[in-house]
Amino acid sequence: MKRIVSLAFAVILLISCQSIATTPSAFPSPTVTFTNNLPTLTPVPLDDPQLHEAKELLKQGMEQQDAAKLERVISVTKWVAAIYRQGGTSPIDPRRALNLALEFAKENKLLVDLERPTYEPNWSVPAGDTSVLVRVIPAQGDSYYAHLYLAHEPSSWRFTGILTRIPYYEAPSVAQLRAAPIQYAGKEFMFVGNYQGTTNPPAEAGTPPADDAFVLNTFSGPIWVVLKNAAYVQTLPADAGSKIGQPMRVFGIVTLKDGKPYLVSDSAEFSDPHSWAHVRGTIDSVNPTTRQIKLKPESGNSSLLELTETSFISFPDGGRATLSDLQAGQTIDATGVPQKDGSLIVEELFLAP
């Protein structure tokens, strides 16, 4: 598999290195003693109010196809565009970047989601310091996702690149995957669960597909994962055996063996236990204006669910549902990011059969 933005950034690095190269002196240089008194470069925090303003401007510019607003936020140095797993452009100038961004916005209906987090495989090299998620709805064909990158340039936050054709955000539950494995075979998804290793695997997981497979135990059941044998794939840490039960995020291709699904992954890494949660319960009420759901939880701590513009709502058969399909009395499973106030930002919501 090809790395995506890394090719473009290799060009940036090459250009940078060439620009600072110096001609060797004909005379030997005197010995200089350096002291460690250089200033420390402190990254601009991601809760910077100016970043929020830049995201709002980017959202309006892309959704409204507004060239003036995009021009205010486009990078003043270099910009890159890439297609997931296929490659990207060399760094291009801001004027051409603006034209490409506008062309993309005009060809598709865009939902720029400023609330839902973005995720990428651990081999990816992002084109910015942070990114926002976009659901892309073409005039023809299936919808997919994109990332719009922002980086802090010398004076402000700027729109520095785009990654399109991201397929993995609308993952079925493992239970849905088992119920219709052929429907999902060959597709890439992102799953979060607890790392169970290889010792005493749950019977529900079935027979391991390979000697080096491990179990990821998700809220809807376990699934075997095999790390792809490729130079760019990061292996699990040496102390993985001590991390049984810890949460892990896996990007993998659904593969079948004897009709049973497992994941072939090129990105599996442990994640912060507080960065993801699952709650199951019965809907008490739905507010379509605020996209809030009050829940009577059966498991998990959240009783208030906050859906975003792109939260994936799934019918039991895996089909996409909408907010209007949610009603009081329905049993659901919701996954997402827990908030300090006890609510849950919903990434995926599954209607129970």
Euclidean distance between CA atoms 350 and 331, whole angstroms: 9
Q: What is the average pLDDT across 144-149?
A: 98
- Do 85 and 156 lie in a common domain? yes
Q: State which of 270, 297, 316 marks the end of a domain.
A: 270
Helices (runs of H) and strands (runs of E) counted in the chain: 6, 17
- Do 61 and 153 lie in a common domain? yes
- Domain assignment present for 89: yes
pTM, entire model: 0.86
Domain around 304: 277-351
Euclidean distance between CA atoms 284 and 341, whole angstroms: 19
- Do 248 and 293 lie in a common domain? no
Residue in the block written with tokens 């919501």: 349
Asked if pLDDT for residue 33 goes beyond 50, the answer is: no
So what's the pLDDT on residue 232? 96
- Domain assignment present for 37: no
Q: Are 286 and 326 in contact (CB under 8 A)?
A: yes
Residue in the block written with tokens 């603006």: 98
154/233: higher pLDDT: 233
So what's the pLDDT on residue 43? 77
- Domain assignment present for 69: yes
Indicate which CATH number applies to the domain containing 191: 2.40.50.200
- Do 213 and 258 lie in a common domain? yes
- Do 50 and 145 lie in a common domain? yes
- Do 234 and 285 lie in a common domain? no
Beta-carbon neighbour count of residue 53 at 10 Å?
13
Q: Are 291 and 323 in contact (CB under 8 A)?
A: yes
Indicate which CATH number applies to the domain containing 124: 3.10.450.50
Beta-carbon neighbour count of residue 303 at 10 Å?
16
Pairing mode, if any, of strands 80-83 and 221-227?
A: unpaired
Strand partners, 254: 263
Report the candidate in 274, 270, 176 with the shortest Cα–Cα distance to residue 223.
176
- Domain assignment present for 130: yes
- Domain assignment present for 36: no
What's the whole-number average pLDDT of the chain?
89
- Domain assignment present for 82: yes
- Do 79 and 120 lie in a common domain? yes
| Centroid of chain to Cα 302 | 23
Tokens matching residue 50: 């100016």
Is the dihedral angle over the CA atoms 118, 119, 125, 130 positive or is it negative? positive
Structure confidence at residue 40 as a pLDDT band (50, 70, 90): low
Q: State which of 238, 270, 302 marks the end of a domain.
A: 270
Asked if pLDDT for residue 62 goes beyond 90, the answer is: yes
Q: What is the average pLDDT across 272-280?
A: 96
- Do 296 and 260 lie in a common domain? no
- Do 138 and 88 lie in a common domain? yes
Residue in the block written with tokens 């906050």: 306
Distances (CA, A) of 248 to 153, 244, 312: 33, 10, 20
So what's the pLDDT on residue 41? 59
Q: Write out pLDDT tens, residues 71-126.
A: 999 999 899 999 999 998 899 999 999 999 999 999 999 999 999 999 999 999 99
DSSP H/E element including 73? helix 67-73
Q: Write out pLDDT tens, residues 123-141.
A: 999 999 999 999 999 999 9
- Domain assignment present for 112: yes
- Do 198 and 88 lie in a common domain? no
Report the domain count for the chain. 3
Q: State which of 215, 242, 270 marks the end of a domain.
A: 270
- Do 159 and 53 lie in a common domain? yes
Q: Write out pLDDT tens, residues 292-319.
A: 999 999 998 899 999 999 999 999 999 9
Q: What is the average pLDDT across 43-61?
A: 92
- Do 10 and 128 lie in a common domain? yes
Q: Write out pLDDT tens, residues 166-224.
A: 999 999 999 999 999 999 999 999 999 999 999 889 999 999 999 999 999 999 999 99
Euclidean distance between CA atoms 116 and 132, whole angstroms: 8
Q: In this structure, what DSSP letter does residue 93 have?
A: -
Euclidean distance between CA atoms 84 and 167, whole angstroms: 8
Indicate which CATH number applies to the domain containing 332: 2.40.50.320
Structure confidence at residue 32 as a pLDDT band (50, 70, 90): very low
Distances (CA, A) of 88 to 6, 79, 282: 9, 11, 45
- Domain assignment present for 198: yes
Strand partners, 268: 250
Q: Are 283 and 334 in contact (CB under 8 A)?
A: no
